[in-house]
Amino acid sequence: MIKNAFSGVALSAMLTVGAVSGANAADKELHIFNWSDYIDTSIIEDFTKETGIKVVYDVYDSMEILETKMLAGGSGYDIVVPTDRNLKRMIDVGVFQDLDKSKIPNLSHMWDEITTRLATYDPGNKIAVNYMWGTTGIGYNVEKIKAIMPDAPVDSMDMFFNPEVVSKFKDCGVYLLDSPDDVIPAALNYLGLPPDSKDPAEIAKAGELLDKIRPFIRKFHSSEYIQGLANGDICLAFGYSGDVIQARARAIEANNKVEVGYAIPKEGGLLWMDSMAIPKDAPNPEAALAFINYIQKPEVIAKATNYVSYANGNKDSQSFVDKAILDDPTIYPPADVMKKLYTTTPNDPKVQRVVTRLWTKIKSGT
Amino acid sequence: MALTDRSSGHSRLRWLVVAIPYLWLILLFLAPFLIVVKISLSTSAIAMPPYTPALDFTAGLGALWEQIKEFTFDNYVFLTEDALYWESYLSSLKIAVISTFLVLLIGYPIAYGMARARKEWRTTLLMLVILPFWTSFLIRVYAWIGILKPEGLLNQLLLYLGVISEPLNIMPSTLAVYIGIVYSYLPFMILPLYATLEKLDETLLEAAADLGCPPTQAFWKITFPLSLPGVIAGCFLVFIPAMGEFVIPDLLGGSDTLMIGKTLWAEFFSNRDWPVSSAVAVVLLAILVVPIMLFQRAQKKAAE
């Protein structure tokens, strides 16, 4: 879920300027901190029109940035949008306040499937409301893959984890997410081990698998593959569903004859959720509740989905979602695929250190 | 009476002038550094902030002492137990030394040319060196991505000229990191070099020529030794920030480019281990203090 930082920064700067110029009463101001490139800005404008609350909208492009700010405290944000295992960790530390659900009547529209999964991280759904969710999977250049390997198993993690297959695409360019939280569970799952394993011996096995395919990987990066796929510079990327779908849209827009495909691995993939939560020290929790309620209006969250091409956690919004998106099995997967999607939980500090160290070793050979 | 008044006012003014930079250093260097040292002696915890003890100065001296007793050197011991850390320091050291040498190699002829240019040209040339600073450092590094990437300007040009038939994979790689550092820090080398070379007494070279010394020898016997203070200043201005560089290896470097700045980032953001990352920072500072002290000694010598 890491996107182009630049456009995000520019966007936030723009919105901040707009907000500051009209700001006089602090209680009429709402500070949101969200992933970059992740909202239709007209939603924010409409919210301000409806409620009179000015929105200062800042963005981050990595979960670590958000988590570090939250752990340091006093961030000044009213709403932040952490991803599942980071959400859990911050809940454990006590970063967030419980939601006053009486102020969010639109919660009645939420989708049980997603709410239940979210409860893995937020027991009792007391703290977070899902914004968007998606999968990690296989992004690929349809033509180039076909030219190199006509019978390529594009819907299988063999594309990355089978040395015989991935070696064929080495020169064409293979990217992996620079995120051990996404790649190591995928490797564990491929090996038939539990994807959420915390056993250092099993994690080491995933490391061995990754070491074997390391020579065929051009780069570990969490956003460059969007442009790479769209331009046709790379063949294959293990990435986030929405980012690959965005790459596909960019290629169509550029009319450069590049066709980008996305597949959820048939072995199963990670289902991640970005959810809104209110920090305990939020200056304006009332406005935060009003915004969460506003964005969960079925037609509003549908507008957000139509813009970013991610699925949302609001069941009733589906009648407002563009048909092309709703019927796309890579965005709203059918029930049998949904069943195979796994979720993961945070590592304790010791396991986290093992994972980070292993990751550095895989990337740098040291 | 009037005389003593004026002199005491004078010394008060002098005291003030000296105090301002010291205050600056205490507030913006010493205090943050002490906080980092303090965190490096703490233990990582799942809390806000993520370490213990978080010193509570309101609890009274006794309680404070109890907290201070919790301090530990474990994090420093930990750094010696994993090869990753010293290999990162070494790799950073290597990259910083090589880049400094390259910057000197490129910067010296430029500074020399500027100092020997006609007087009315010099200001313009100086402006041209400073001009890139008008754009953000980050934007300039991003621009290099546009130049070096596989489908970037450089490859397009070389392909067009027929020099290469396949795009070069310069970025991401350690080579791209060298290019980025050399480009970014070149002005820091040129400016002190230019300052010393411009002041150089040209009659010395004339005398050498009169005595039959060929120009290359005159350069090594006169110009270069006299420009040494500029060389040293430039080298340290490049070496010290290059050693701790994070942005350039992060944006231009490959996944296998090991630098201490990146290791520190992973420690702080991925492991959320503030104490260990603080220990990494303190050790880095210790490594840098040595060349800074050498630099000061060289400066003192030059002043004598």
Q: How confident is the model at residue B6 (pLDDT cuts 50, 70, 90)?
A: low
Give B52's contacts in chain A (Cβ within 8 Å): none
The torsion angle over the Cα atoms of residues A99, A102, A108 and A110, rounded to 10 degrees, is: -10
Domains: count for chain B: 1
Q: How confident is the model at residue A140 (pLDDT cuts 50, 70, 90)?
A: very high
Between β-strands A236-240 and A129-141, what pairing exists: parallel, antiparallel or unpaired? antiparallel
Q: Do A220 and B142 touch (CB under 8 A)?
A: no
Look up the pTM and report it.
Answer: 0.79
The torsion angle over the Cα atoms of residues B9, B14, B19 and B22, rounded to 10 degrees, is: 180
Q: Is residue B12 part of a domain?
A: no
pLDDT in tens, A80-139: 999 988 899 899 999 999 999 999 999 999 999 999 999 989 999 999 999 999 999 999
> At residue A170, does pLDDT exceed 50?
yes
> How wide is the angle at C-alpha B149 spanned by C-alphas B145 and B154, nearest 5°?
95
Distance from the A34 Cα atom to the nearest Cα atom in chain B, whole angstroms: 18
Mean pLDDT of B23-30: 91
Give A89's contacts in chain B (Cβ within 8 Å): 46
The phi, psi pair for A33, rounded to 5°, reads -125, 110
Query: Which of A92, A227, A366 should one mutate to test binding to chain B, selecting the residue with the greatest count of B CBs within 10 A?
Result: A366
Evaluate whether B248 touches B181 at the Cβ level (below 8 Å): yes
pLDDT in tens, B105-115: 999 999 999 99
Mean pLDDT of A170-175: 91
d(CA A17, CA B225): 54
End-to-end CA distance of chain B: 38
Evaluate whether A32 touches A6 at the Cβ level (below 8 Å): no
Tokens of residue B264, six digits: 């520190």
Between B54-68, B114-128, B164-178, the lowest mean confidence (pLDDT) is in B54-68
- In order of A50, A127, B1, B17, the CA distances from B14 in angstroms are 60, 59, 20, 5
d(CA A310, CA A298): 15
Q: Where are the alpha helices (DSSP H) in B200-244?
A: 202-210, 215-218, 224-226, 228-243
Q: Is residue B74 part of a domain?
A: no
Q: Do A93 and B48 touch (CB under 8 A)?
A: yes
Mean pLDDT of B110-137: 92
> How wide is the angle at C-alpha B98 spanned by C-alphas B242 and B266, nearest 5°?
45
Average pLDDT across chain B, whole number: 88
Q: Which residues numbered 236-265 in B keep a CB inside 8 Å of some CB on A?
A: 254-258, 263
Does this complex have an ipTM over 0.85?
no
Distance from the B71 Cα atom to the nearest Cα atom in chain A, whole angstroms: 19
Q: Is residue B30 part of a domain?
A: no
> At residue A1, does pLDDT exceed 50?
no
Q: Is residue B282 part of a domain?
A: yes
d(CA B94, CA B57): 43
For chain B, how are helix, strand and coil distributed in percent, rounded to 5?
80, 0, 20
> At residue A216, does pLDDT exceed 60?
yes
Question: How much is the pLDDT for B301?
Answer: 79
Helix (H), strand (E) counts: chain A = 17, 10
Residue with tokens 């569903």: A241
> At residue A335, does pLDDT exceed 70?
yes
Tokens of residue B235, six digits: 């080298």
Give B266's contacts in chain A (Cβ within 8 Å): 356, 360
Q: Is residue B244 part of a domain?
A: yes
How much of chain B, in percent, has pLDDT values that exceed 70?
Answer: 96
pLDDT in tens, A200-211: 999 999 999 999
Q: Is residue B281 part of a domain?
A: yes
Q: Is residue B25 part of a domain?
A: no
Closest residue of B to A93, CA-based? B47
Q: Do A356 and B266 touch (CB under 8 A)?
A: yes
CATH of the domain at B282: 1.10.3720.10
Evaluate whether B264 touches B281 at the Cβ level (below 8 Å): yes
> At residue A4, does pLDDT exceed 50?
no
Closest CA to B46 of A91, A126, A276: A91
d(CA A48, CA A320): 22
Q: Is residue B251 part of a domain?
A: yes
Evaluate whether A297 touches A110 at the Cβ level (below 8 Å): no
Domain span at residue B86?
Answer: 81-303
Instruction: Report all structural domains of chain A as residue ranges with CATH numbers, in order of start.
Output: 5-128+277-332 (3.40.190.10), 135-270+343-364 (3.40.190.10)
Give A364's contacts in chain B (Cβ within 8 Å): 255-258
Q: Environment class of residue B34 by beta-carbon count within 10 Å: exposed (0-12), middle (13-18) or buried (19+)?
A: exposed
Closest residue of A to B138, CA-based? A6
